[in-house]
Structure 1
Amino acid sequence: MVLMTAVPPPASLIAWRVVAVAMVLVSVAATVASIWLDSVTLEQLAGDPSYAGSAWSAAVAGLVLVVPGALLVWQVGGHPVAIVLTIFGALWALDGPAIGVVNLALVTGEDSALASWGFWYFARFGSILLLPIQVILLLFPDGRLATGAWRIVSIVSLALASLLPITFILQPAKNLGGGIAVREEQLARFDPGFLAIPLPDAVWATLSTIAQPSAAIASILAIAVTISRRRGASFERRAQLRWLIWAGLVFVALLVVSSFLPVIVQEFAFTIGLGFVSVSILIAVTRHGLYTVDRLLSWTLVYALLIASVLLVDVGIYLLVGAIFDDRVTMLVALLIVVVAYAPLRDRLFRAASRLVNGRRDDPYAVVSELAGRLEQAGGTRDQLTELARSIASAFASGFVRVELDRPDGTVITSEVGTPAAHTASLPLEHDGKHIGRILMQEGRRPAISPRDRRLLSDLVRLAAAAILNAELNRELQAIREGLVTAREEERSRLRRELHDGLGPLLGGIRLRLETSRNLIEKQPEKSLSVLDTAIDESSEVIAEIRRLVHDLRPPALDDLGLARAVEQQADRLSGGDLAISVSVPSPIEPLSAAVEVAAYRIASEALTNVVKHAGATAAVVRLIRTDAALVVEIEDDGIGISATSVAGVGTVSLRSRATELGGSVELSEAQPGADRPGVLVRATLPLPVPAAEDATP
């Protein structure tokens, strides 16, 4: 018994996990300390202009960054994005206690070195805490800078973004006040002046002026770099980028909405927005639940539009009605309009956003119903394939769909919609468990195929496959009818030629000899008998010619001996030299219809002839196997096999056509794959007619 043991993680991963756990512990401790410091100072400093801010919001914001970052480190190790989230999250969490100790000093009136360091940390070093979002935009999702010209753009963006923290950290305190009394008082009281560089005031003034615009430009460049990664990206990479886009939309929406609300709500909104961003990054990098973003994205678009529409309604009502009625009437009218318009507007917006992102897959009944109508109106197989491709493209928001149908004769009929894409997914096109073709589709804006989507696709395929096969059967039936008429006329023409060119001259010659013998019987009896003997000899040729014609129509051996013995007779005739042919009939095969007997005999004869001519075999076997539904004819040899470059000849085409006429099939394969002499296995399946049901006796 083999014991399965878990493979221990590498040392580097263990080291990163230790770092991640340490960052989480530091952040948790900082959060606890921040909450305690707020509980001590918040009430005393309420309304005080020197209040440094709430410590808990900074600490919790860092915590919501460091926890997903630590989970990401635990999963993927030293991934740059995971490192940025974890380390910067811990630094952000420490910003909370730094604010708390400054507030505590303001309450107690006791200045300390701890308060000075705390002030320096949140007032100066805290400016660097804006960098992680910038860095993540440039590194997301693979942890590497973009290539080519975009790498230069990324470096420029980092340089511009670094200008703001450099200005805050290195600038002397006298230049940071900006003429604001409270700020200058705090700087004079708490700032330790650590790392300050005494450059000329003009230099620091210039840097202070361009620092914030540079940060804005850096953010724009970082967003442009992120968008550029979509070009030529895989479907999975685009889904990762959509997670970041969705988180960014939520973050911006929360900031915009909360800006009209109290400060405490703004702090909560900012923390929640950061949480959305960090969790989205975790999902995108680990690729866990990657494609669930699409529904979230559609809902986000819907509710963003809803909020905007409601705000517009409120503003419009207040502008139009507010001057006429009092506030209570205006509010009532606004409420009625919002209630009446909200439900239908919400549904319409959701359908529009969902269709934009997901296609029409969320309304499977409509998709199936529309396809059924299109298939009924389609003219032929190719038109039906086109309608199937259009329905799939519409249902799954796919830019390219190609449907391929394999015909029994080996040809492939195709139809496609959209522009061919480099990356496509291949799905089988099946009917009644048989592979009849394939669907090549470019995955849409929501690449994931959920179980519900698979059921919809399966319904579309089954519906279309039944209609397509019905059209193919009608086409084949019409072709068979035309083939039967053509074959009948060709057979009549052949018999006419055979009778006219073969039997006609022979019978004409015999008649002339008989007339000559009649004329000579009285005058030259001996010569008359000689002419009669010649006529008798020629009649033997007539009999042989008639037998040949009859054999071409139906081998007499089938009537005289039956199929099994007729095939054995043919095998004995073709055996000889180094080739030995045997016939195996495991169980009785009669009775058979005349059509099946002739087809089986011809297929066996043609296949054995190919073995003699081309296989170079020493042994061959013919098997006749009857099942409830078909007669199976197998011809197997130990010859050189089928060449990969060989082209189907007249014999192979004849085998297939004889089986196809009866609704059967012929398969050619290697008898012993991988062997030096793989041989050939010809397997013909000829369906047997279903006997008519007898009338029930009352």
Structure 2
Amino acid sequence: MGGMMRETQRLSLFWRIFLLNAAVVTVAFAFLMLGPFTVSAPVLLTEAALLSGVLVVMLVANAGLLRLGLAPLERLARTMSTVDLLRPGHRLAVTGRSGIADLIRSFNTMLDRLEAERATSAARALSAQEAERKRIAQELHDEVGQTLTAVLLELKRVADHAPEPVSGEVRQVQETIRNGLDEIRRIARRLRPGVLEELGLSSALKSLAGEFSTGGLTVRRNIDGDLPDLGQDAELVLYRVAQESLTNTARHSGARQVSLCLSHVPGSAAGPAEIELRIRDDGAGVGAAPEGAGIRGMRERALLIGADLNVGPAPGRGTEIRLRVPLGGEESIND
């Protein structure tokens, strides 16, 4: 008996469906052949009712058997419709008989391959993006910045020797160029934060919070002082996520208050030690709007170091972004 069951499990999906239908038809045929039934010509009302009842029983039995046999396929279809490579790890339990189980295993294997390939391609893209940002920031600082500095010095010399009111007009031009130079330096810092490389993550986040504490927006920061060494890649991801979050808050949320917290969460029985970045504002919230390129970019960065990113409503009102980085689990962006 056990051998017969194993043989049935090894049948393909086509043959199992065929045998299910054949079994239902055979049982109905035997019931009509061996039972005390005859069919008159023309068919009597009682005979028609009996045949209709047998047909209904056949259809119901066939539908029930097919639903039972194809249930794993329905679960697979639901999973396929909800797969998101930016939220990896979701797999379908391998259940069902031979053909369906093989299909589920193939689907899970395909997801493994797609997630690995996406992680590799995203790492290369982000590495190229960081290199390009560094190049542009360097050119802004060395080329444009130095040129404007030379122009300021020349304008100062002209203003010192020019009569009024020309001297006042030249000084106004100086002030305009000086403001433009400050803006170029600010853009260069955002493209490639030198403070992150020179002074570390804590100082970089403090500087970032100070930059956004303008124009009616107040950024309160709370950064642990006993942070472990995270590595260059993890620090860069944490900084970029904080930068993108504050940028979105300043542009779209209408918030007045933002809290930026970076904390060290010790390991426990519930999970390993991790670094948690939490950014919470009192703005309008995300609502039902689809995720934009900024949030998708943050998710891709989080995947590169094995981190978990959650974006959702904050307690009360506003938006909360929470990034959890497991210690010792990061992969190199430059790999």
Instruction: Provide the TM-score with structure 1 as the length reference.
Output: 0.31
Question: Any conservation in 2 of the 1:637–1:671 contact (CA below 8 Å)?
Answer: yes
8 Å CA contact 1:406–1:436 kept in 2: the answer is no
Q: 1:650 to 1:567 in 2, by over 3 A?
A: same
Give distance in 1, aligned partners of 2:208 and 2:201. Answer: 10
Q: Distance in 1 between matches of 2:122 and 2:74?
A: 39
Is the partner of 1:435 in helix, strand or coil?
A: coil
1:469 deviation in Å? 3.6
Q: Per the alignment, in what secondary structure is the counterpart of residue 621 of structure 1? A: strand
Alpha-carbon distance between aligned partners in 2 of 1:666 and 1:213, rounded to the nearest angstrom: 73
**Structure number with bigger Rg:** 1
Match of 2:53 in 1: 226
| 8 Å contact from structure 1 (residues 623, 635) kept in 2 | yes
Counterpart code for 1:226: G
* Contact 2:122 2:300 (8 Å CA) reproduced: no
Instruction: Assess if the C-alpha contact under 8 Å between 2:141 and 2:188 holds in 1.
Output: no
Aligned to 1:570: 208
Who is 1:83 aligned against?
A: none
Gap change, CA 1:679 and 1:460, over 3 Å in 2: farther
- Give, in whole Å, the separation in 2 of the partners of 1:398 and 1:657: 30
CA distance in structure 2 between the aligned counterparts of 1:604 and 1:656, rounded to whole angstroms: 12
Residue 406 of structure 1 and its aligned partner are, at CA, apart by 1.1
For the Cα contact (< 8 Å) 2:193–2:204, is it kept in 1? no
Instruction: Name 2:258's counterpart in structure 1.
Output: 620
Give, in angstroms, the shift of residue 542 of structure 1: 8.3
SS in 1 for 2:228: coil
Letter in 2 for 1:467: T
- The answer for unaligned runs of 5 or more in structure 2 is 1-37, 163-170, 266-271, 331-335
> CA separation in 1, counterparts of 2:151 and 2:43?
111
- The answer to whether residue 196 in structure 2 is matched with residue 554 in structure 1 is no
**Which of 110, 126, 131 is matched with 1:468 structurally?**
110
Separation of aligned partners in 1, 2:143 and 2:104: 55
**Do structure 1's residue 409 and structure 2's residue 86 form an aligned pair?**
yes
Task: After TM superposition, list the pairs within 5 Å mapping 1:400-549 onto structure 2.
Answer: 402=77, 404=80, 406-409=83-86, 434-436=89-91, 463-464=105-106, 467-480=109-122, 482-484=124-126, 486-487=128-129, 490-491=132-133, 494=136, 498=140, 502-503=144-145, 505-506=147-148, 549=188
Cα distance between partner residues in 1 of 2:107 and 2:56 = 39
The answer to whether the Cα contact below 8 Å between 1:568 and 1:582 also exists between their aligned partners in 2 is no
Q: CA deviation at 1:223?
A: 3.8
Mapped to 1, the partners of 2:273 and 2:298 lie a distance apart of 20
Displacement of 1:471 in angstroms is 0.9
What's the Cα RMSD here?
A: 5.3
- Residue 476 of structure 1 and its aligned partner are, at CA, apart by 1.5
Q: Deviations over 1:492-532 (max 9, x none)?
A: 76358637861474588699x7xxx9xxxxxxxx99xxxxx
Choose between structure 1 and 2 for higher RCO, CA contacts under 8 A separated by at least 6 residues.
2
1:631 is matched with: 275
Q: What residue identity is the alignment partner of 1:472?
A: L
Deviation at 1:467, TM superposition (A): 1.9
Distance 1:510 1:213, change over 3 A: closer
What is the deviation of 1:682?
Answer: 0.9
Q: CA deviation at 1:477?
A: 4.0
CA distance in 2, matches of 1:467, 1:397: 17
What SS does the aligned partner of 2:90 have? strand
Which of residues 598, 604, 609 in structure 1 aligns to 2:242? 604
1:507–1:607: structure 2 CA closer, same or farther, 3 Å change rule?
Answer: closer
Q: In the alignment, which residue of structure 2 is the partner of 1:647?
A: 290
Corresponding residue number in structure 2 for 1:660: 303
Question: How high is the sequence identity, in percent, across the aligned residues?
Answer: 18
In structure 2, the partner of 1:262 is none
Segments of 5+ residues of structure 1 without an aligned counterpart are: 1-210, 243-290, 295-355, 360-392, 411-430, 440-452, 518-525, 528-533, 692-698
Which residue type is aligned with residue 475 of structure 1?
E
Q: Describe the SS at the equivalent of 1:640.
A: coil
How do 1:170-569 and structure 2 match up within 5 A?
Answer: 213=40, 217-218=44-45, 220-227=47-54, 229=56, 238-239=60-61, 402=77, 404=80, 406-409=83-86, 434-436=89-91, 463-464=105-106, 467-480=109-122, 482-484=124-126, 486-487=128-129, 490-491=132-133, 494=136, 498=140, 502-503=144-145, 505-506=147-148, 549=188, 552-556=191-195, 559-560=198-199, 562-569=200-207
Whether 1:595 and 2:233 are equivalent positions in the alignment is yes
What secondary structure is seen at the aligned counterpart in 2 of 1:564?
helix
Number of residue pairs matched? Answer: 270
- 1:669 counterpart = 2:312: yes
Paired residue type of 1:556:
V
Q: Deviations over 1:544-585 (max 9, x none)?
A: 96786355322416633x433443443344346875543334
Offset at 1:225? 1.8
Q: 1:216 to 1:492 in 2, by over 3 A?
A: same
Corresponding residue for residue 689 of structure 1: 328
